[in-house]
Amino acid sequence: MPRLTIDNREVEVPAGSTILDAANKLGIEIPTLCFLEGCEPSTSCMVCVVKVAGMPSLVPACATIARDGMQIESECDVVREARRAALELLLSDHLGDCMGPCQVTCPAGMNIPLMIRQIAAGDLADAIVTVKRDIALPAVLGRICPAPCEKPCRRAAFDRAVSICLLKRYVADADLGSENPYLPQRKTTQGKRVAVVGAGPAGLAAAYYLLQEGIDCTIFDDHDQPGGSLRYAVAAEKLPRDVLDKEIALVLRLGAEFKGGSRIGALLSIEDLRRDFDAVFVAVGKLADGDAEAMGLDIGKSGLAIDAATYQTNLPGVFAGGDVVRGRRLAVRSVADGKEAAVSIVQYVLGRPVTGPAKAFNTRIGRLKDGEIETFLAGAGDGPRITPDAADGGFSEDQARREAARCLHCDCRKPQSCKLRLHAAQYDAKTSRYQGPRRLFTQNTQHPHVIYESGKCIDCGICIQIAAAAGEELGLAFVGRGFDVRVAVPFGRSTAEGLKIAAKKCAEACPTGALALKD
Amino acid sequence: MSELDLTLVDSAVERIGTSREKVLELLQAIQGKFGYLPTEALERLCELTEITPASIAGVSTFYNQFRHRPAGKYTINVCIGTACHVKGAEQVYDAFLRHLEIPQGQDTDSQRLFTVDRIACLGCCTLAPAVQIGRVTYGHVTGDSVARIIDDFLNQEKARAARPVRKRTLLGDEAAGRGEIRIGLGSCCVARGSGKLKEALDAALSTTGIEVPVKRVGCVGMCYQTPLLEVVLPGRESFLYAQVEPGDAKAIVLRHFKPPRLTKRISNVVSTALDNIVANKGTETVTRHSINVREGHVADFLGKQAHIATEHCGVIDPVDLDEYLGKGGFEALRKCVSELDAEQIISEIETSGLRGRGGAGFPTHLKWSAVRSQESPDKYIVCNGDEGDPGAFMDRMLMESYPFRILEGMAIAARAVGAETGYLYIRAEYPLAVERVNKAIEICNERNLLGEHIFGSDFSLSLKIVPGAGAFVCGEETALMASIEGRRGMPRLRPPYPAESGLWDKPTLINNVETYAVVPWIIRNGAAQFANLGTGNSKGTKVFALAGKVACGGLIEVPMGISIREIVQDIGGGVGGGLRFKAVQVGGPSGGCVPAELADTPVDYETLKDVGAMMGSGGLVVLDETDCMVDIARYFLEFTQNQSCGRCTFCRVGTRRMLDILERLCAGEGKKTDIDELEHLARIIKASSLCGLGKTAPNPVLSTIKYFRSEYEAHIEKRCPTGKCRALITYSVTDDCIGCTLCAQHCPVNAIEFRPYEKHQIDTEKCIRCGTCRNICPADSVKVE
């Protein structure tokens, strides 16, 4: 039984074990992409490299047999640099968007393509969960949002953008109109209280997400009714008050306490709130002269000064977001601020380091090349953008489904399980660190269960092994050599022919979004 | 599409077999029949054998040899090896495409007569730029000569079809005592016309009635003088004729040999006289070629050499076993079988200090003992003849010229490690080597020098050739073994080393051609004598392929420790054309450039490594002041990138990114940070690639940055100081123009207007910077800036 050390910790493993096995035994995480238990190590991605004392080169942990007396370093600078380089090199040849251009542009970062797939499949119950994960007031925004998300929609390069905003409204309206509108789960209470000052979009959103984390919220507002600018600055024709009321009611039903008619000033000061609550979120809307000074908060360019990543003001425990910070009216931005500030506030009240929300790692295809839009269009419905004909300006069910069918689904189907994305974020890999001419986008959708996008393939060959082991008649093969090597079905046949039995297994095992389940 | 005759597949399978490892051989057979690999044929192959579609798809797209599209009747292989590259191979390639009017992105002309392909290296570096059409090799090709070459080839084909095959075998004893005529028939010699010369000699002998054996011999090494013809007369010094043309054959014969009958003699006098009148040339045209071994550059060329792997060079017939035996051949094997035990053989190799000649220089005896110590009933021995380095042709020459020596070396090694089965993996681009080694194996089997119970002992050895299919990476030992097993030639992680787990997971000894070739000499002459040659840690000799910008290129074998200067200046006769010696590229894509300032560097494993180069397998390409070092680096990266197996990220993507930068630099689109970025990538790729190919791929870049940094900086400023990088230069005509119109006549793209007696002008928009005008201008009035 060889004994070795990893990062100065001793471990003994059965003969024939790899360095990766030894690390696992110690609970040391070594990142891997191309390694899968039960498959022959591909030694392809080289993300699992470690340094062995006395060896001139770094070695892949997944395939290097542990030998007695080995001294291994798994987190030193050389190793981290090599891992990051491996990831960045893979990313330099990784053709795909982790998130669709719409999601990237949406200030709230809503997973729009997923919502659209759920609409198309008639899964409105799932769709509202998707929507409300990022947008607390979708029925409201479905009526007033200028829809920046539709601007970069790839479909616009062909005819017109997908009507995203109205699709979201359709989901939200359907939910509000149902017997039991969606109410997210609340975590058990943490015994912490947050004062939210201002019941506009930012404040309501912050409360909505804080409550879900088990934090109690009290919302103060100088008006009698909650809604802030939504109620007092947006015309009722544009935003019917019953819709606003219903959506706000859901926030209150989640457990927020509303105290109207309580303006910060003589009666109620920030100092009082800081004393009585564990944290304060200031979202009072556009600042009037003297407001900031009265609250003792510093002023920035367009409003209160905050740390851009954490929403913290100059006063400890006081956070700010929405128009009070930005000075311009964009409800979706305010809703996003509320959601993001809530993350920082939770970190703060629970005594964790305040870092704000993690920035999602994203790769982008960027500008399409000639012919690529056709590839995207291959699986989409070919109708024109639908204009609602109902009096209230919303989609009917049939219209919503047809409009949903127009989406090109530019996003990756494995944004959560992609190991490249995971480790790239972990090692702070930059997508554009190395640049070279990019390949042509391909997307293969004719298989009933899986999608194959060769541009996302890292040539690990796990799927080839799985298909062969499953006894596929044709299976998959490496075709070509070197930089041009691609995984493909032999003899130019289709994925449907190549993967008759092992498709799902291959898609699940694929470390990236190259092979992914359709739904 | 016409119906394919799939029974051809059936018969190939019947002949070759159905097991998985036969896949390369089967694909080669199918391609041989159809000219490419039709999908129907591949599907048929799956039905008939245990080979899976995935394996066929994987293997057939891995190796360069295989085509999936129909090809023209003949394939024009334009060699883009290093020596050819520096002498303008790309321009030649372009010229063929232009001449045959092949549109961009395609490789075959509209009549499906010719397919034009680039080939990694034909190993005819002294003929650079070289082009192979069918089995004919053309040397010193220029963009201007492609039309003539195609005509010549087609005429030859016509003549070949019309001419009945006539062969006359001359046996060594047939005219014993009369002397003999030796003619070099290595690939280079043949390419330079020694085949035609041999025909002319045969004809001359039959018309004169003179009976003297004409013997083909292997490579003499003096490739720059080919075709070479040597007349050996018993008891007298021999006469060596260089650059002999077929028309000279008869005169040479008559000079040294007397026709048997008077009438013949008279008619010979008459006809020779007539010949001379008609051809208007006297006998001095013959003596013009005659060179004396003891004089001048020949003495220099041969003087510093020491022939061990190339012992008896230019003397023995490659496949004449008796001659080999007569010169002590197989004595070493006999000794190893009957007198020495395995330990003693290995200890002898240890004493000799022999290290692997494939490049890395691993001590040979350690490898042998490692395999010997494995307890396994099955062990294999492999000869690595997959010499793929552009600019290297040592192993080809050795296999073509001394096949018995290599087999003997392998047999001794097999005896020492306890292997009874072995393979010689030989590049498919070396058909003559395959043919000769095959013949030699056949003869050895017949004569019990291979096969069962060699010399009546308990030692048996069966050897077989596995032809490669065009993948440089298969020179890496684990990739080579994967290829023999019928898989894609992908290297794998070592350890385990082949000595523990090699072919089919059995202990395997794998050595390079040259390593085996010196073994018999060591056993025969004693390890000490071998160790006397060379330096502290690098013993014996090394065979080099000397090519590029050198006056006397060829195959040389020199003692280790000789300086680069001695090789280039003394043996190679220096750089020709009054140009300055700039650097020598040692070790191909894994090696580096040693600049002229370091020419006194002794050639041994460690010192070469210290200066940023590498012994490699032994290609030496000499560069002169007109060679652009950024272009050289780009050239090698392009090669490695093309040849990367694609397994590990660092090599597959990393070298691609390095190449991107170099391409940008050569196109005048470089950035200030490019040099740093190249060095950064190089460091990471070297430290973390999976196999030796990747780990050494950055060397050509690093060594050129180290010694020629200013050229990189110039490229960042959009200048190519040597005027090589096409995107950075313009051609123009100076006032020295005499208005001769030659440039206008030869310009392949009509970028020069025809203006007799006037100064010509080059339309830079149309100009493709091929250099034709510059080469042809009699007044030296074409300027490149």
Give the CA angle between residues B744, B745, B746 to the nearest 5°: 95
Q: Which helix (H) or strand (E) holds A175?
A: helix A164-176
Residues A340 and A213 in one domain: yes
Q: Which two tokens stand for residue A33?
A: 């992409």
User: Looking at the complex, does the CB of residue A480 fall below 8 Å from at least one CB of chain B?
Assistant: yes
Q: Which of B57, B652, B681 sits opposite A490 (nearest CB)?
A: B57
Q: What CA–CA distance (Å, rounded) separates B598 from A237?
A: 86
Q: What CA–CA distance (Å, rounded) separates B144 from A394?
A: 73
Query: Mean per-residue pLDDT for A205-230?
Result: 96
pLDDT, one tens digit per residue, over A70-105 is 999 999 999 999 999 999 999 999 999 999 999 999
- B136-146 burial, b for 16+ CB within 10 Å, e for fewer? bbbbebbbbeb
Residues A386 and A484 in one domain: no
Residues A43 and A123 in one domain: no
- Region of poorest pLDDT, from A489-493, B356-360, B751-755: B356-360
- Split into its structural domains, chain A has a count of 4
Q: Check residue B607 and give left, alpha or beta (phi > 0: left; psi -120 to 50: alpha).
A: alpha
Chain A residue closest in CA terms to B67: A480
pLDDT at position A314 over 80:
yes
User: Looking at the complex, does the CB of residue A473 fall below 8 Å from at least one CB of chain B?
Assistant: yes
Query: Mean per-residue pLDDT for B723-744?
Result: 91
User: Looking at the complex, does the CB of residue A16 fall below 8 Å from at least one CB of chain B?
Assistant: no
- Closest-CA distance of chain A to residue B493, Å: 7
Residues A330 and A228 in one domain: yes
Residue A467 lies in a domain: yes
The CATH number for A459's domain is 3.30.70.20
H-helix segments, A311-427: 323-326, 331-349, 372-377, 397-404, 419-426
Residue B262 lies in a domain: yes
**What residues does A458 pair with on adjacent strands?**
none
- Region of poorest pLDDT, from B118-132, B253-267, B562-576, B763-777: B253-267
Residues B209 and B333 in one domain: no
Chain A residue closest in CA terms to B39: A491
Q: Which of A57, A467, A484 sits opposite B687 (nearest CB)?
A: A57
Task: Identify all chain A residues contacting B647, using CB atoms and an 8 Å cutoff.
Answer: 42-44, 459
pLDDT bracket for residue B281 (50, 70, 90): very low
Residue A71 lies in a domain: yes
Q: Work out how many CB contacts closer than 8 A connect A with B.
A: 133
What residues of chain A, 400 to 459, have a C-beta less than 8 Å from chain B?
A: 434-437, 458-459
- Region of poorest pLDDT, from A240-249, A387-396, B530-539, B695-704: A387-396
Residues B113 and B250 in one domain: no
- pLDDT of B292: 44
- Closest-CA distance of chain A to residue B638, Å: 11
Q: Check residue B780 and give left, alpha or beta (phi > 0: left; psi -120 to 50: alpha).
A: left
- pLDDT of B776: 87
B346, B413, B446, B460 from B454: Cα distances, Å: 19, 14, 11, 6
- Closest-CA distance of chain B to residue A440, Å: 16
- pLDDT of B390: 82
Residue A427 lies in a domain: no
Residues 6 or more apart whose CB falls under 8 angstroms from that of B645 comprise: A481, A482, B62, B471, B473, B479, B488, B489, B490, B491, B651, B691, B693
Chain B residue closest in CA terms to A56: B687
Q: What CA–CA distance (Å, rounded) separates A208 from A248?
A: 10
pLDDT at position A378 over 80:
yes
pLDDT at position B277 over 50:
no
Task: Identify all chain A residues contacting B23, using CB atoms and an 8 Å cutoff.
Answer: none
Residue A226 lies in a domain: yes
Q: Please say which residue of A92, A122, A152 terminates a domain.
A: A92
Interface contact flag, A43 B645, Cβ < 8 Å:
no
Interface contact flag, B646 A435, Cβ < 8 Å:
no
- pLDDT of B179: 79
Contact between A382 and A69 under an 8 Å Cβ cutoff? The reply is no
Residues B354 and B404 in one domain: yes
pLDDT bracket for residue B332 (50, 70, 90): very high
- Closest-CA distance of chain A to residue B328, Å: 44
- Closest-CA distance of chain A to residue B281, Å: 56
User: Looking at the complex, does the CB of residue A77 fall below 8 Å from at least one CB of chain B?
Assistant: no
- pLDDT of B171: 37
Interface contact flag, A483 B656, Cβ < 8 Å:
yes
The CATH number for B781's domain is 3.30.70.20
**What residues does B602 pair with on adjacent strands?**
B563
Residues A231 and A341 in one domain: yes
Where does A31-161 show beta strands of DSSP type E?
49-52, 59-60, 71-73
pLDDT bracket for residue B272 (50, 70, 90): very low
Return the higher-pLDDT residue of B296 and B168: B296
Residue A356 lies in a domain: no
- pLDDT of B772: 86
User: Looking at the complex, does the CB of residue A491 fall below 8 Å from at least one CB of chain B?
Assistant: yes
Q: What CA–CA distance (Å, rounded) separates B485 from A462?
A: 21
Residues B369 and B508 in one domain: yes
User: Looking at the complex, does the CB of residue A185 fall below 8 Å from at least one CB of chain B?
Assistant: no
Interface contact flag, A85 B43, Cβ < 8 Å:
no
Residue identified by tokens 């793209």 is B749
Q: Which helix (H) or strand (E) holds A330?
A: none
- Centre a 10 Å sphere on the Cβ of residue B362 and count the other Cβ atoms it contains: 15
pLDDT at position B170 over 80:
no
Q: What CA–CA distance (Å, rounded) separates B358 from A297?
A: 74
- Region of poorest pLDDT, from A417-426, A473-482, A504-513, B775-784: B775-784
Contact between A463 and A122 under an 8 Å Cβ cutoff? The reply is no
- Closest-CA distance of chain A to residue B44, Å: 12
Q: Please say which residue of A317, A349, A381 terminates a domain.
A: A349
Residues A343 and A370 in one domain: no
Q: Please say which residue of B162, B191, B206 terminates a domain.
A: B162
Residues A289 and A244 in one domain: yes
Q: Please say which residue of B532, B566, B585 terminates a domain.
A: B532
Residues B338 and B450 in one domain: yes
Q: Is the dihedral of CA A24, A30, A35, A36 positive or negative?
A: positive
Residues A317 and A256 in one domain: yes
Q: What CA–CA distance (Å, rounded) separates B164 from A441?
A: 57
Residues A107 and A133 in one domain: yes
- Region of poorest pLDDT, from B221-225, B545-549, B602-606: B221-225
pLDDT at position A410 over 60:
yes
Report chain B residues touching chain A, CB-CB < 8 A.
39, 42-43, 52-58, 61-62, 471, 488, 492-493, 495-496, 641-650, 652-654, 656-657, 660, 681, 684, 686-690, 695
Interface contact flag, A90 B643, Cβ < 8 Å:
no
pLDDT bracket for residue B177 (50, 70, 90): low
The CATH number for A382's domain is 1.10.1060.10
Q: Which two tokens stand for residue A471?
A: 């006894």
Residue A420 lies in a domain: no
- pLDDT of B132: 85
Between the two ends of chain B, the Cα-to-Cα distance in Å is 51
- pLDDT of B276: 36
**Sheet with A318-320, side-by-side order of all strands:** A257-259, A216-220, A193-197, A279-282, A318-320
Chain A residue closest in CA terms to B661: A436
Residues A201 and A133 in one domain: no
Domain that holds residue A257: 193-349
Looking at every residue in chain A, the average pLDDT score rounds to: 94
Contact between A82 and A49 under an 8 Å Cβ cutoff? The reply is yes
- Centre a 10 Å sphere on the Cβ of residue B306 and count the other Cβ atoms it contains: 18
Residue B713 lies in a domain: no
The CATH number for A29's domain is 3.10.20.740
Q: What CA–CA distance (Å, rounded) separates A63 from B573?
A: 51
Domain that holds residue B778: 730-785
Residues B389 and B241 in one domain: no
pLDDT, one tens digit per residue, over B86-106 is 888 999 999 999 999 999 889
Interface contact flag, A477 B652, Cβ < 8 Å:
no
pLDDT bracket for residue B268 (50, 70, 90): low
Q: Which amino acid is at A141?
A: L
Q: What CA–CA distance (Å, rounded) separates A482 from A239?
A: 58
pLDDT, one tens digit per residue, over B5-57 is 999 999 999 999 999 889 999 999 999 899 899 999 999 999 999 999 999 99
Q: Check residue A379 and give left, alpha or beta (phi > 0: left; psi -120 to 50: alpha).
A: alpha
Contact between B507 and B374 under an 8 Å Cβ cutoff? The reply is yes
User: Looking at the complex, does the CB of residue A93 fall below 8 Å from at least one CB of chain B?
Assistant: yes
Residues B267 and B147 in one domain: no
Q: What is the DSSP letter of A11?
A: E
Residues B442 and B367 in one domain: yes
Looking at every residue in chain B, the average pLDDT score rounds to: 87
Contact between B583 and B599 under an 8 Å Cβ cutoff? The reply is no
- Split into its structural domains, chain B has a count of 5
Chain B residue closest in CA terms to A79: B688
pLDDT at position A64 over 80:
yes
Residues A343 and A284 in one domain: yes
Q: What CA–CA distance (Å, rounded) separates A511 from A34?
A: 7
Interface contact flag, A481 B53, Cβ < 8 Å:
no
Query: Mean per-residue pLDDT for A311-333?
Result: 93
Chain A interface mutation, best of B609, B663, B688, B695, highest count of A Cβ atoms under 10 Å: B688
Q: What CA–CA distance (Å, rounded) separates A308 from A286?
A: 18
A382, A519, B141, B557, B630 from B725: Cα distances, Å: 49, 52, 20, 35, 9
pLDDT, one tens digit per residue, over B551-582 is 888 889 999 999 999 999 998 889 877 889 99
- Region of poorest pLDDT, from A267-271, A357-361, B755-759: A267-271
Of all residues in chain A, what percent carry a pLDDT higher than 90? 87
- Nearest C-alpha neighbor of B568 from the set B580, B657, A48, B774: B580
pLDDT, one tens digit per residue, over A116-153 is 999 999 999 999 999 999 999 999 999 999 999 999 99
Q: Which amino acid is at A401?
A: R
Task: Identify all chain B residues contacting A65, using CB atoms and an 8 Å cutoff.
Answer: 495-496
Residues B254 and B358 in one domain: no
pLDDT, one tens digit per residue, over B349-383 is 999 999 999 878 899 999 999 999 999 999 999 99
- Region of poorest pLDDT, from A458-462, B298-302, B501-505, B558-562: B298-302
The CATH number for A229's domain is 3.50.50.60
Residue A324 lies in a domain: yes
Contact between B778 and B742 under an 8 Å Cβ cutoff? The reply is yes
Contact between A69 and A4 under an 8 Å Cβ cutoff? The reply is yes
**What residues does A268 pair with on adjacent strands?**
A264
Residue B215 lies in a domain: yes
Residue identified by tokens 């103060």 is A220
pLDDT bracket for residue B180 (50, 70, 90): confident
Q: Which of B660, B681, B688 sits opposite A49 (nearest CB)?
A: B688
Chain B residue closest in CA terms to A58: B688
- Closest-CA distance of chain A to residue B43, Å: 8
Between the two ends of chain A, the Cα-to-Cα distance in Å is 46
- Closest-CA distance of chain B to residue A452, Å: 17
Chain B residue closest in CA terms to A476: B54
Q: Please say which residue of B479, B507, B532 terminates a domain.
A: B532
Half-sphere exposure of B477 (CA within 13 A, CB side): 26
- Region of poorest pLDDT, from A380-389, A434-443, B214-223, B697-706: B214-223
Residues A395 and A443 in one domain: no
Residues B127 and B186 in one domain: no
- pLDDT of B163: 54
Interface contact flag, A435 B660, Cβ < 8 Å:
yes
- Closest-CA distance of chain A to residue B377, Å: 23
pLDDT at position B173 over 50:
no
Residues B325 and B451 in one domain: yes
- Region of poorest pLDDT, from A124-128, A389-393, B739-743: A389-393
Residue B112 lies in a domain: yes
- Whether this prediction's pTM lies above 0.95 is answered by no
pLDDT at position B284 over 60:
no
pLDDT bracket for residue B222 (50, 70, 90): confident
Task: Identify all chain B residues contacting A429, using CB atoms and an 8 Å cutoff.
Answer: none
Residue B168 lies in a domain: no
Q: Please say which residue of A92, A116, A140 terminates a domain.
A: A92
Q: Which of A57, A92, A482 sits opposite B641 (nearest CB)?
A: A482
- Centre a 10 Å sphere on the Cβ of residue B569 and count the other Cβ atoms it contains: 17
- pLDDT of B175: 39
Query: Mean per-residue pLDDT for A255-279?
Result: 87
Residue A354 lies in a domain: no
Residues B390 and B492 in one domain: yes
pLDDT bracket for residue B122 (50, 70, 90): confident
